[in-house]
Every structure is written in structure tokens, then in C-alpha cells.
Structure 1
Amino acid sequence: MTSRSLVREWDPPGPAIAALLKRAVEVMLDEADELLAAIDAASFEVNRELLELAPGLGDALRAAGRSNVMVWALANMRKPGLPVPANLSPENLDFARDVVRHGFDETILSGFRMGQNLALRTATDVAFRVTDDHEALHDLLALVSQSIFAYVEDTLEGITATIRADRAQLRDAASAARAEAVALILEGAPISAPRATQLLGYDVERAHTAAIVWSDVAVPDGAVESVVNDLARMSGAARPLTHPVGPSTAWVWISGGASSEIPERLRPIEGVQVALGRAGAGLAGFRRSHLEAAATQRLARRLPLRSSLTSYDEVEVLALASTNEDQARDFVARTLGPLADAPTEVRATLRTYLRQECNLSRTAQLEFAHRNTVAARLERARDLLPQPLADRTLEVSLALEIARILVA
């Protein structure tokens, strides 16, 4: 049972107490200026820091305080002692909406509690002035206390609900606008950079790196968000653009960084994966980097990659060479032949050798191996290839790059 249902169950007061309450309210209204000034001072003091940030809320807070006092008082003038419905007057609803527009939440309603205490103190003082009958005074004070507390609780409940509803609506509208802007950019629509920046709250004309953070398994609440925050922090970006696309997936754009500058070792969270595009500037870079991250994610989901973070640079060759994993494996098998099943160091040495334009000395240095050892590995590789290396250098290089990513 809610507090609101409880306050509406009390019995109306007898005629004598009702008359005393009405008389007390009349006195309070005659002296209302003093009470309202005290409520203003207390409310402004408890919300001093917030009002320094948004002075425009002062008038709305003052109007709400006056409305709360007057609605309760006039209701008790008409029907003394009966429950007073929550005050959802224009003053209070306007105040609630102003709170949301200024970026605050319901904590500012603490001023209403101060008003409640001051009103109760004033009503208590007045009660002693309208009767000296101890029994009547006891009943009057109990009724006033019950009425004020119930009224304030119901009013706060109503205003809090309004604030939360307006905040949710504002978030939904902002999220819808961001989602629309992201979709337009990724579709290549002719949205301008200034308009995209305005809708996203993110400068699209800067350099940025796209990332996709996701989990295909159950992970603790907040795990994906934690990795997003780590990416931003470790890349030096203060405020990334984050676009949730599901309960366990977020598209992210990190401003001001390059993918090579983002550490490849994040704080590990089991089950959370990261796919990175390359850095790019402007709307074109925004789109291209995301498409690269998406291609990287597709490959990371299909292939048994060892790291939880995969960059487009690592899988670019495979992404460009094949859109089908089976075709890629077949290409590797046909091109490398028995070399595909050779020891890893033999394939790695040949790959380095081809990357170094067939320079034996540089290959030995990069492989941290003796020149003779490198020569022996290369000879072994040539023997295993189904066709002479000199005739298919490009194909062999591509097959070795793909084989480095694919796990047979």
C-alpha cells in the first residue's frame, strides 16, 4: 500500500477541531509573507550551489514554494482537515520541467522539505495562539502534522514523477537524434558536418578512430561500458561518442587518436571483444573507420583470434582478399601446398624475407636468427612450395599474410 492511499484513509475531524484548524489557517494566511520569506531563504540556502550554476531556477523555486503553501492553506479553508491532493499546479510542473532543462535532477526538491518543516513550525506556533485547551491542542497539532506531511509527500511524489518522465523523454529524443545522425553518416547521406556535430554533441570534423565493443556471451553488467571507458582513457580521449546498438554492443568513435596509439592491452574483461578501425578525419573518416571496425568484428567472430582486441590493420589483407573464409583457406592451401603445414618459423621467415624485398641480412636481423639458419629455412620453404617462388611471389606473400591470421 502506498503512502498516498494511507493519507486518504483518515477520518475527517470533528466540527470543533475543524473550526480551530480553519482559524489557524486564517492566521497563517494573514502572516503569510513572513512564512514565505523564511521558506525562500531556507530553500535558496540548501540549493545554493545549484542556483549559482543556474540562477534562472530561483524564480521558479520561489513560485513553487508559494504555490505549495497557498494550495494547502486554501484547501483547508474550504474543507478543514481533509486530505489535500498533491499540488501539481502549473507552478510546480513548470519548476519540474525547468529542473530538467537545466540538467538537474530531483535532488533540488530538498528545498520542499525545508518548506514543510517551516510550515509545520509556523502552524504549531499558531495552534498555541488559537486555543489553550490541551486536549483540543493535541488533536489540532496531530491533524496539522498529518495533513502537512501527507500533502508534501504526495506533492513530491508527483513532481519527482514529472521530472523523471521529462528526463526520460529528453534522453529518448536525444538518443533518437543521435541514432538518426549516425545512420545518415554511415549511409553516406549529404548531412553537413556542422549539423552532424550539433546532433551528436561530438566534433565530427576532427580525427577519430571507430571501435566496436561487444560480447557474444553473458558478462557482468557494465562490462562493455567499462571497456569503452578504458579505450577512451588509454587513448587520451576525454569524451568519446558512444552509440549503443543492443544490450551488449556499442559503436564508439574516439576523437583525436589514431588506432596505432590505442594500446593493444586493455584491462581484460572476459568475454568482451574490441574491433578497431583506422583513424580518419571528417565525415568520410567517421564512416570509413566504422566500416573497417565492422569488417574487423565480422572476422573476429569467425576466426579463432587469440586477442580480445583486433585492429583492422591486423586483418586488412584477409578482409580485402576474401569475403569467404572457406575460399581463403582454399587459396592458402593451393598456393602454399605442403608449406601450409610446415613449422611456424619456416613460414614466418619466408614472410619476413618477402616483406624485406628478399634481403637475407635484414631478414636475419628481424628474425633474430643466424644468416645460415635463415638461409636453411628459406631453402626448406622453397622445397615445400608447389610452384617456384620466383613465379608466384605476390600470391605466396598474400597467402602467408592470410595464413598468419587463419588457424588451420
Structure 2
Amino acid sequence: MDATTWLDDYARRMRRPERLEDLVRMADDRILAAVPELSADETFRHDLHASTRAHWRGLFAGLSREPFEPRPPAEAIDLARTIAGRGLDLAVLLASYRVGQRAVWQHITAYLDERIDDVALRSAVLVRFWDRTSLWLDTTVEALVGTYTREREQLQRGFLAIRLETVHDILDGVAVDVDAASNTLGYPLHHQHTAWVLWADDDLPAADVQRALEHTAAAVAAGIGAGGRLTVPSGARTLWCWSSTPGRAAAVIPDALSHARVHAATGTPAPGVAGFRRSHREALAAQTVAAAVPRPVTAYRDVELACLATGLGGSPAARELIRRELGPLAADDEPTVLLRGTLLRYLTLGGDARRAGERLSVHPNTVRYRVRRAEELLGRPVADRRAYIELALHILDAYGSVAAIPDRPG
């Protein structure tokens, strides 16, 4: 068997879906570990996975062909545009390809070590594989640097650059003049906001994506009854959106998603600049859940417990849960801490006042009294929101106070 025949057989085996996905995960895990900017949110991760998958497919399709004519996949171009559109440095794009190149080389050398004993054949395969992958990557990187540069130049020249910079400053917690920022964005930051993320399926033609996203964004905002709408692109197939609502937003987003290949993830309504950030952070967390279980709409309020349990949303989400669910019961004074501890013990023991009293060395009636006092502070029966209240109590019991919860981004 010669090198060409061996590589042809290798490529055919690697194109099988399960083998291909193993290679995508292997490469992307290394890239995300080395280039953390690309793990910032689901849009980055999605575009990276799509790009890596397309690279493997293209490489395997042409590995043994003559002539070998590498062409950058459309998905790789989308990733370069996303990186440029988010204002990340060109070094992020180049680093991802350096790490990816090492991952490819480590894969093929380990693979050959296991399967080829003939030193001459192994050497011939390595030389041919390296020549082809090097040409593939060099051609791709050269093309993507051009894509990145053009995208950045367009953004920097236009008003979109100013809007994007203002939005990213707000999301990064930079202090802004709210009136000036509202004028720049053409959007009232003083109001209450509902944030959502829209993204299009991979099989929706590129020429139709922006029209579908914008149409859906307009339909959602109209359904909510928004007093203002702000949209900014966050990737080739993703749109970040906010609507300004004078009151709580109605649950109408599913009805507004008329396009079957556009999906939405929504945050909860929240006021002011802090609410602009918080609702967006929740929408991104919901989008991450939706990536695992695709559905037309994923609302943060429906997946909040799953997000908190898996670390999505970070410390801000945990603090917001405590503020919203416990209210005055989150205070640090000794009587309130006593009520909280009793309520937590009561809930963890299945609502059994007798067993809770034994654990706390008090009479069951004392437990019942403290639970009633805690419910008065909550403003509702514990049973109405038991899972949420119990989780908030556990977090506060572990850290002692809201202030002690360590800062950790979502």
C-alpha cells in the first residue's frame, strides 16, 4: 500500500459522523482551553464548532485528490467575522489556528504510531499529510486575515462601531453617561428591559439569515409591546436584542417566532442599565441551555435552576436569585439569620417540624412559628416557590452573606 491509498482509506474512515465529531471535540477542547475568549458565550462556541467541523470535512474530502485545491469553508469565514464583529484582536483568530494545527499534528502522529509499522510508509504518509494540511491552513489563514481586516474596517468606519462599543461598555460594567448612551443607541436605557438572543439554523442560506433575524426581532418587539428596540449583531447568524418595556413583558415570544429556523433565548425584565446587563446575561445563559436541547424558545425563567446548578450566570445570577426570592429574609441581623436557618432545616427535612425541632433542639411549635415569621418576610407561602427559595437559602447558608459570595462571571 502506498501513501496515497493509505490516506484515501484514512479519510474515508474519518468522515464517518461519529469519528468526525470526536475530532471536532478534540480540536475545539484544546482551542477553548488555550483561547478563552472563544468560550465567552454560545455564539462563539457554535461558530467555532461549525468552523472546525467544516475544516475536517474539507481536508478529508481533498486529502488524496489531485490537484489539491484548498478552499476556506464558509463556516470559517463566519467565525472570522464574528471575532472581528466582537472587537477581538486578530491574535485571537491566529491563536485558534496555531492551537488547531498542533492538535491536528498530534492526532495524526498518534494515529500512525498505532497503525503503521512500516517505517518507510509511515514517513511517506506523514510527509504527504503535512504538506497538504500546511497548504490547507496557510491558504485558510491568509484568506481569513483578509476577511477579518475587511470586517473590522467596515465596523470602524460606520456608526455601527460606535453602537457596538457603547453596548459592550455597558455589558462590561463600564460607567457610562446614561443619557448620552441612550442618544447614541437611540434606545431608552432608563426604562425596564427584556433581552433576548436570536440565532438562525445552520441550514438557513446565508443570504436569508439577516432578513430572518431582523424580521423575527421586529415581530418579537411588537408582540411584547416594546417602547423601543435595540439590536446588534454578535455573529454571522446571531442577533442580540433588547426591548424597552414600561411594565413586565408579556409571554408572547413563542407566537412571534414565525420563522421555523430562527430560535430565541430570553432573559427576564429588569430596570435601568443594571437590568440591561442582567437580562442579557440571563438570555446568554438560556441560549447555552438551548444549544444542548434545541427548541424554538428558551426562557431563562424556565431554566434558571438548571443554569444555577451548572454555573451558568455566575455570581451575579446567584445574588439576583437571593435578592428576588428572599428579599428581607436575606438580611444579616441575628434574628433573621435564625429564621433562615430554621426554614432551611425545615425544608431539607421535608417540612417535618418535629424532626427539624429535634435537629435544632427546640419545640416543634417554635419551628412552626419561625417558619410563619419567615413566610411573612417572604410575603408568600414557601410552597409557592419552594425549589427557588430552598436553593437561595442553601447558597446563603454556605457563604453566610450575599457580600461574601465570591465574584465569578457567568
What range is the shorter-chain TM-score in? 0.3 to 0.5
TM-score normalised according to structure 1 size:
0.37
TM-score normalised according to structure 2 size:
0.36
Highest Rg: 1 or 2? 1
